[in-house]
Chain A
Amino acid sequence: MSWLSKIRDFLTRRETVISGGGPKAIEKQIAMGKLTARQRITAILDPDSFHEYDLFVEHRCADFGMDKKLLPGDGVITGTGTIMGYPVCIFAQDFTVAGGSLGLAHARKITKIMDHAMKLGIPLIGINDSGGARIQEGVNSLAGYGEIFYRNTLASGVIPQISVILGPCAGGAVYSPALTDFVFVVDKISKMFITGPEVIKTVLGEEISMEDLGGARVQTEISGNAHFYADSELECFEQIKKLVTFIPWNNRKKADPYPPKPPRPGYEIEKIIPPEPNRPYDVRDVIRAVCDDSDFFEVHRHWAANIVVGFARMHGQTVGVVANQPLVLAGVLDVDSSDKAARFIRFCDAFNIPLVTFVDLPGYLPGVDQEHAGVIRHGAKVLYAYSEATVPKITVILRKAYGGGYIAMCSRHLGADFVFAWPSAEIAVMGPEGAANIIFRAEIQAAADPDAMRREKVAEYTEKFANPYIAAANGHIDAVILPADTRDFLIHAMEISAQKIESRPTKKHGVPPF
């Protein structure tokens, strides 16, 4: 073979694989409203940055006539590239090739790129669009999944792992995304479930659509399995790009700083909190009023909205923000919001991202459903995550900090480095009404006018305890600050904590209340 014909032969071979499942399958993919795996990679990565590996990998299955089937790339595309200049490893399942089904060769391409990501210390992005296990390969496809899960677990807390669900992701396949740090879904395209509607119908007699069972909305709002929701694939890719700018390459690094920017004008920080202590407001306005460019990138926005978590920058440095949200369920901690906060705190701690906590909560949500769902062990996750975290921890108490909620929200007692409180803060064992009713029960009952006595005692308690000064007198908070000074205090606290080193007892790992 001449040199030229070798080149031609290579180009033909490459062309065959690159065309994936062929024009018909691609047409079908597009008809489903989906981009192809290659289009997705191109759209997520910086232009011309994608470098592909393992293009010519083939499966070795000979059963059920598989030996006569050539599956281009074995249904998955793997490689490296950059996003906004940040290096990443990426894989994209190709639904046009045997439904993106996962066989051993397919899995080994994924595990190989995962191993690369770990060795190189760069984030991993996985695009899932697969019908599931390749049944013809039997237990080998299960082996493939297992090898992926194992690596997801080892990589957890070492490199950021991002999963993008752009098609079906069902059965065992869901557990790879579930083990990763951030899951992105797109309306009408993403479908995640352990058992699909058909199985549920045959086995259990319950009828439900794929969308209602495990569509994008369900996964972002009800189950919390997904962190980011988008209306379109392109919107989803923009979200991924934005996320990447906030997080470091790996756990040995810090997130890259950006040029500092002041908050945008228009957020009047003094006017955000209503004067009545039981009135709601949007705590995200407080976050936007203090962070760079008022740019708050919310994680898990639609799930457990009674707590807000996400990334922002203070004077150019990434921070992880956790804030009770009085707008929703009065900002209480409950099963879901505890889960949400704890997971986020652990991500930030693992990746050297300082934590800023804004506190305004009346406590834990009462209810039989909450108690039976294990609000005790879920609530404990928040305590665990904050206590365990060694990144700089800065807390700002905006208004209510009552009882167990006060302790849980990164109090001094859980190792906060700095605790600030606004003059509107109420740091107390419980709200004035509840406290007065207990402490002064006898006086209220004995009074000629119990209601008048109750009001008097509530006022007395409010006057004495519904403020930050008793906590300040005990040194539980470091400073009472004006709302307008919050940004300055936060930036200063972060700057002087930049070299913070806090050690923990030697252990293999803790046993958090999962």
Chain B
Amino acid sequence: MSDQHEFRQLQLDDTVYETLFTRKFARRTPYQPVDPRQVRARIPAVVVSVSAQPGRRVRRGDALLVLEAMKMRNEVTAHHDGVVARVLVAPGQLVAKNELLVELE
């Protein structure tokens, strides 16, 4: 159960501390701001159907596609008005959590 036995630097309140990192801390992923134009999968799922079409104008609340996960079908809707720029998935496809599904302009 070895931690990395290599001292790293951690800056807190303008002081730099020499210390070991836990594996969990070393592996943390940097924060990525949410881009409202990107519609992503909230849960790993199978794409059942895709109604979004590139170039088509959508209004907030319009259905873009249907995902099936945990024996439930969920409609994924547009967060805001816009034009569909890209559709990155097709029916039958398995998508990972947070995978980009549709991009709006």
Contacts and interface: CB of A to CB of B under 8 A. Distances in A.
B28 A362 contact: no
A431 B31 contact: no
Given A205-B44, A222-B24, A280 B7 contact: yes
Interface stretch (A47-55, A302-310, A414-422, A475-483): A302-310
B15 A434 contact: yes
B22 A329 contact: yes
Contacts of A229: 1
Nearest to A402: B13
Contact of B19 (A220, A221, A329, A437): A329
Interface string A201-221: 001111000000000010011
B70 interface: yes
Contacts of A305: 3, 20, 22
A26 B60 CA distance: 62
Interface string A321-333: 0000011111110
Nearest to A363: B12
Given A204-B69, A280-B20, A326-B19, A332 B12 contact: yes
A330 B24 contact: no
Nearest to A436: B14
A433 interface: yes
Interface in B22-59: 22-25, 28-29, 31, 43-46
Contacts of A332: 10, 12
Residue in B13, B29, B31 with the greatest tally of chain A CB atoms within 10 Å: B13
B69 A434 contact: no
Nearest to A371: B31
A402 B12 CA distance: 11
B12 A362 contact: yes
B19 A328 contact: yes
Nearest to A222: B24
Contacts of B94: 205
B15 A431 contact: yes
Interface in A291-313: 302, 304-306
Residue in B16, B19, B20 with the greatest tally of chain A CB atoms within 10 Å: B19
Contacts of B28: 367, 369
A204 B18 contact: no
Contact of B22 (A217, A220, A328, A402): A328
Contacts of A365: 12
Interface string A393-435: 0000000001000000000000000000000000000111111
Interface in A254-287: 277-280
Interface string A181-215: 00000000000000000000001111000000000
Nearest to B25: A329
22 contacts: A204-B44, A204-B69, A222-B24, A278-B16, A280-B7, A305-B20, A326-B17, A327-B19, A327-B20, A329-B20, A329-B21, A330-B12, A362-B15, A362-B17, A363-B13, A402-B13, A431-B14, A431-B15, A433-B15, A434-B12, A434-B14, A435-B13
When A and B form their complex, which 10 residue pairs have the shortest distance between CB atoms, in order from nearest? A434-B13, A368-B31, A204-B44, A330-B17, A433-B14, A205-B94, A330-B19, A431-B15, A434-B14, A362-B12
Interface of B: 1, 3, 7, 10, 12-25, 28-29, 31, 43-46, 69-70, 94, 96-97
Interface of A: 203-206, 217, 220-222, 229, 277-280, 302, 304-306, 326-332, 336, 362-363, 365-369, 372, 402, 430-435, 437
